[in-house]
Amino acid sequence: MNVLITDGIDPQCGQILTQNGFTVTEKPKISKDELKEIIGNFDKLIVRSATKVTAEIIECGTKLKLIGRAGAGVDNIDLEAATRNGIIVMNTPGGNTVSAAEHTCAMMLSAARRIPQATADLKQGNWSKTKFSGVELEGKTLSVIGLGKIGREVASRMQAFGMKTIAYDPMIPDEYAAKLNIELLPLHENFMRADFITIHSSLNESTRNLISKETLDLMKDGVIIVNCARGGIINEADLAEAILSGKVSAAALDVFETEPVSPDNPLLKLDQVIATPHIAASTSEAQEKVAIQIADQIVEWKQTGKLKGAVNASAVELAQAPGVRSYLTLAEKLGATLAQMAPDQANKMTVRTSGEFLHTFNEVITAAALKGFLDVRQSKDTNYINAFTMAKECGISLEQKFEKENPDYTNLIRIELENGTTKRMIGGTIFGEKEIRIVMIDQFLVEFKPEGNIIIYNNTDKPGVIANVTQLLLQHNLNVAYVALSRDEEKNMAMTAIVVDGEVTPVLLDEVRNVNGVDVANLVSL
């Protein structure tokens, strides 16, 4: 349990981890090259915003199981690369909420009243009372883009100044926003109605350049824009032009697309812009909170297996729910069984769940089925975090389906695999609390426990086939532990699953395939 901490995180983080049995190394000013060189020695990495955890670094972290971000944003971590490698990425939502919200409000007030400019002018020996006339906040409309924890705190504080608050957040229900006295509106209406705009979204492909010439043209003349969220959400060149034209009267920025920001950035040359060097969360209280929070989350994960703050491991979190573990084991067994029976070229998987209990766990059941399947089919380690990514890289398209109930089973998992011409299906359930059973294969209803070495074969439904197969097992000195039999409705074809004690050699399997009447035979090892 070796942990590497970078970026000068509060010492309490390392202290808590050390007290709980972790070996902690702190490198607050580590270079990219040094990080690449030593990261392979650690299974956990904790960073703030300075360390860029790139795909290259992640690939060097061959032992990494977790990357912790002491803060809310994770845009300095290559989330896709971490997920592909099965690494949990964990942040500390809420730890710096108050600090970031207070800084946003301070920036808004400073921009409205031009406080930094007036301070600088005064310190130069001037007394320019008329030069720095500002605007009041009371009665103005504030648009909050992103109603997460920080956005909500900002809205609450600015309502105390008498501002009307509107917002855009597609993930928030209207009823919830109404309880906060916030009116949810489409994005373009926010831009058209706002006197002040504050950004509180993460940076992703849908929010990059969210504020650009096109959206700036929708805004009121004289609008004031605040961004204490992430650089790149605002197109900086377009904002500079809008300020020069008078469209935007002022901007307050704590973040920039490239950090540290270049002294040649045109926004820094404009008197209407006030700026700080990404310090919204940089209070002693916030840094202490996030350091303690990330350490506590890691300790809880170690002690109980529970995940808090994981941003790429929803399946892992679902797997911790009471009662679901047996179904995940079942799903893995079904996936592994199907991998040993289906054609190698199979490229489409459908996971069907039946029963109200399983509805909530569709995602993690599918992840478990993929894990079982891919553990057999390919060499890389697969887990619930990277299962979907691995399947995509293997060319497997995925479909998830749910039905409220099945006429025969309270809860049923079925997995189908096909390659365009051939389709195989397997289904299973849990009897009692943890008795795992396969109950159907293709058109056959056949019940057996998926454990050990199992010979599964289809044959013409006629006398003597099973006797001939068991005779072969006797000749190879193999004991039969369990036999499950089934036949189709027309009673033309039958299926048999024989669980044996001992190793089934390729020679024996070929002999089974050559028994008169046997059509297809597979060995499944679980």
- Which residues, including other chains, have CB under 8 Å from residue 359's CB and lie 6 or more apart? 353, 402, 404
The Cα 508–Cα 416 span in angstroms is 28
The one catalytic residue among 48, 103, 200, 230: 230
Which is the catalytic residue, given 56, 259, 403, 503? 259
Phi, psi for residue 86 in degrees, rounded to 5? 70, 25
- Report which of 212, 227, 90 is spatially closest to residue 151, judged by C-alpha positions: 227
Burial 345-374 (b: 16+ CB within 10 A, else e): ebeebbbbbbbeebeebbbbbbbbbbbbbb
- In angstroms, the CA 331 to CA 271 distance is 62
Distance separating the N- and C-terminal Cα atoms of the chain:
30
Q: What is the DSSP track for 247-301?
A: SEEEEEES--SSSSPPTT-GGGG-TTEEE-SS-TT-SHHHHHHHHHHHHHHHHHH
Report which DSSP code applies to 408.
Answer: S
Joined together, the tokens standing for residue 354 give 């039946």
428 beta partners: 413, 438
Q: Among this protein's residues, is 278 annotated catalytic?
A: yes
Distance (Å, whole) CA 31 – CA 21: 27
Sheet architecture: strand order including 518-525: 479-487, 493-501, 453-460, 518-525
Phi, psi (rounded to 5 degrees) for 135: -130, 150
The first and second tokens of residue 266, run together, are: 């045109």
Buried b / exposed e along 264-284 (16+ C-beta atoms within 10 A) = ebebeebebbbbbebebbbbe
Residue among 48, 103, 152, 278 flagged as catalytic: 278
Per-residue HEC secondary structure of 335-364 comes to HHHHHCCCCCCCCEEEEEEECHHHHCCHHH
Tell the residue number behind the tokens 């086939």, with chain if given.
465
Cα separation, 417 vs 420, in Å, equals 10
In the block, which residue shows the tokens 């001939």? Answer: 468
Q: Is 390 exposed, middle or buried (0-12, 13-18, 19+ CB in 10 A)?
A: buried
Please give the DSSP secondary-structure letter assigned to residue 40.
Answer: G
Whether residue 11 has a cis bond before it, omega within 30° of 0: no
Q: Tell me, rounded to whole angstroms, the distance of Cα 206 from its chain centroid.
A: 17
List residues with catalytic annotation.
230, 259, 278
